[in-house]
Amino acid sequence: MKKKILEQKNGGQKSPFAVSLKSICKSFGPVRANDEICLNVSSGTIHGIIGENGAGKSTLMSILYGFYQPDSGDIQVDGKAAIFKQPSDAIRLGIGMVHQHFMLVPNFTALENIILGSEGKMGLKNGLQNAKLKLEELKSTYGLEVDLDNVTEDLPVGIQQRIEILKALYRGARVLILDEPTGVLTPQETDQLFEILLALKSEGVTILLITHKLHEIMAITDEVSVMRQGKMVANTLTKKTSPEWLAEQMVGRSVLVNTKYESGKVGSVALSADGIGVTDKRGFDSLKNATFDLRSGEILGIAGIAGNGQSELLSVLSGITPPSRGNFRINDKIFDSKNHCSPGLMRELGLSHVPEDRHAEGLVLPFQAFESVILGYEKNPSFGTGFFTKPEQIQAHCARLQDSFDVRPQNPTLISSQFSGGNQQKLVLSREISSAPKILLVGQPTRGVDIGAIEFIHKTLIKMRDSGCAILLVSVELEEILSLSDRILVMNSGEIMGIVSKANTTKAMLGKMMAGIPLEKAIEEKN
């Protein structure tokens, strides 16, 4: 089908390329985010753009939809030169953006969100009626099922994304940019999204898909471009390539994709949770009746879509919030709503915690690296005496950690915010591991981290497990869970759907559980 469209377009007067970028450069201060980027996107195709975090993908797309202006270079839309001073210029020429983090007003209905900014003139009612008619047509053409009168915040993430897509189409987008669209979706929702994208393609919409997930590129794109360190390093037809080759292009060297690690030698129970529940300030039960054992020498993976109680679980076990119900036990010490625990006490008991949000929690961004690297451990006698800290000793300690965890640049006095995502994560990990914990809670260890660092972090976690540490791993990346865990616990709406050993499960089954089907039912459905 793609060929047909291409031939049609070639036959006509129109340019074969919906969008073409020529020698685009963009610098931020001394950093070259985009360096002489050339890109041709054929009309009516799905074009993937892949690259590590910080490779310049988002900057390039921001230039394409008019958010940034390039320092030099040309943009052509349908063969005609275009200059975008602001996003409205781009949308006028039919280029629409679907952001990674949705730009929706939570308490508006789907319809209100879609027409926001193009409501028409005075008097909203007429505009709403007209919009509804137009949207019904769009919905049926592209198979975008959305109930327009529902309030946005009550809708699942997958539907919210459809609203974003409809928003772009409603404004007449013929080129759709999707920035990391699957990051927040269940496997099932991802499949549905891909169906929608294929429907869009068959109607002649051109799609630019930005992602760092290789299998998505292989599954759906026609062509793929690889970015590395601000440069475009490869352009090719997807069917002519392989995931391994793409990965190599992304990082400039071969990496292991989805290594399956050996299982660990499981020891005694290190932490035992019994019916933990959390009721938040609004009276909502965000964590319900969590009961499980964590043993030394194993990695227990917590799978689930973000916001299904994983954060609350980490927060309780690390001592930050007391449980509302139930209790948990470490070394015969029982903690419940009355018997308070604190993060400091947890550290004394040998429990370390790599938090989910390294920017807000794991590091103090304006601190120098050596200050961030003692967060929570500043009273350790090797960092000072009495009430006082000894900056020289802490700097030396930080330099040692940076050396053994390969943190670059190796500079203890650099401000924490000036390290890249992967190096920041290594700083946090080095701090939490250097206390030789018996229990390690890890939240989203590789979110926004480049492939090279992912491999290092994974190997470090496996090494910790093999040395007898009990690891609780929370991640929204199913591949990561499957690759590292010995057992997998799936959560949905604050409840545990089931605990399975890695050997006895499949991605499809985990997907069902993530979508809210308990283990027993998931097995029944399978049979």
Interaction of residue 360 with other proteins, rule CB under 8 A = yes
Q: Which among 359, 368, 375 is positioned nearest to 432, based on CA atoms?
A: 375
Q: How far apart are CA 364 and CA 343, in angstroms?
A: 17
Of positions 4, 12, 13, 29, contacts other proteins by CB under 8 A:
29
Interaction of residue 379 with other proteins, rule CB under 8 A = yes
By C-beta, is 239 or 390 nearer to other proteins? 390
The least distance separating other proteins from the CB of residue 346, rounded to whole angstroms, comes to 8
The least distance separating other proteins from the CB of residue 486, rounded to whole angstroms, comes to 27
Of positions 153, 378, 466, 520, contacts other proteins by CB under 8 A:
378
Interaction of residue 366 with other proteins, rule CB under 8 A = yes
The number of beta carbons lying within 10 Å of the beta carbon of residue 25 is 16
The least distance separating other proteins from the CB of residue 429, rounded to whole angstroms, comes to 15
Q: Which two tokens stand for residue 417?
A: 């915010």
Single-letter amino acid, residue 92: R
Binding region for other proteins (CB under 8 A) out of 73-81, 205-213, 365-373, 511-519: 365-373
> Per-residue string for binding with other proteins, 69-108, x by CB under 8 A?
----------------------------------------
Q: Which among 61, 118, 131 is positioned nearest to 90, based on CA atoms?
A: 61
Interaction of residue 343 with other proteins, rule CB under 8 A = yes
By C-beta, is 151 or 320 nearer to other proteins? 320
According to CB under 8 A, which residues from 385 to 414 bind other proteins? 387-389, 391
Residues with Cβ within 8 Å of 318's Cβ and at least 6 positions away in sequence, in order, are 343, 346, 351, 353, 355, 441
Interaction of residue 260 with other proteins, rule CB under 8 A = no
Q: Do the beta carbons of residue 174 and residue 12 sit within 8 Å?
A: no
According to CB under 8 A, which residues from 212 to 231 bind other proteins? none
Binding region for other proteins (CB under 8 A) out of 158-166, 198-206, 313-321, 460-468: 313-321
Interaction of residue 251 with other proteins, rule CB under 8 A = no
The least distance separating other proteins from the CB of residue 314, rounded to whole angstroms, comes to 10
Distance in Å from the first CA to the final CA of the chain: 37
Q: Which residue has the tokens 């390290």?
A: 419
Q: Which among 509, 511, 261 is positioned nearest to 520, based on CA atoms?
A: 509
Q: Phi first, then psi: what are they for 103, rounded to 5°? A: -100, 65
In angstroms, how far apart are the furthest CA atoms of the chain? 81
Interaction of residue 367 with other proteins, rule CB under 8 A = yes
Q: Phi first, then psi: what are they for 174, rounded to 5°? A: -110, -15
Pairing of the two strands 333-335 and 285-295: unpaired
Of positions 322, 376, 468, 518, contacts other proteins by CB under 8 A:
376
> Per-residue string for binding with other proteins, 412-441, x by CB under 8 A?
---x-xx-----------------------
Q: How far apart are CA 19 and CA 78, in angstroms?
A: 6
Binding region for other proteins (CB under 8 A) out of 288-296, 355-363, 462-470, 473-481: 355-363
Q: How far apart are CA 200 and CA 444, in angstroms?
A: 33
Please work out the total of residues on this chain that contact other proteins, with binding judged by CB under 8 A: 36
Interaction of residue 382 with other proteins, rule CB under 8 A = no
Q: Which among 372, 387, 478 is positioned nearest to 425, based on CA atoms?
A: 372
**Exposed/middle/buried for residue 339 (C-beta within 10 Å: 0-12, 13-18, 19+):** exposed
Residue 239 has what DSSP assignment? G
Q: How far apart are CA 337 and CA 396, in angstroms?
A: 40
By C-beta, is 190 or 372 nearer to other proteins? 372
**In DSSP terms, which residues pair with 499 in a beta bridge?**
489
Interaction of residue 384 with other proteins, rule CB under 8 A = yes
Of positions 36, 89, 293, 361, contacts other proteins by CB under 8 A:
361
According to CB under 8 A, which residues from 179 to 218 bind other proteins? none
The least distance separating other proteins from the CB of residue 230, rounded to whole angstroms, comes to 16
By C-beta, is 123 or 381 nearer to other proteins? 381
Interaction of residue 371 with other proteins, rule CB under 8 A = yes
Q: How far apart are CA 318 and CA 441, in angstroms?
A: 8
Interaction of residue 30 with other proteins, rule CB under 8 A = yes
Residue 405 has what DSSP assignment? T
The least distance separating other proteins from the CB of residue 383, rounded to whole angstroms, comes to 9
Applying CB under 8 A, the residues found at the interface with other proteins are 29-30, 318-320, 342-347, 353, 355, 357, 360-367, 371, 374-376, 378-379, 384, 387-389, 391, 415, 417-418
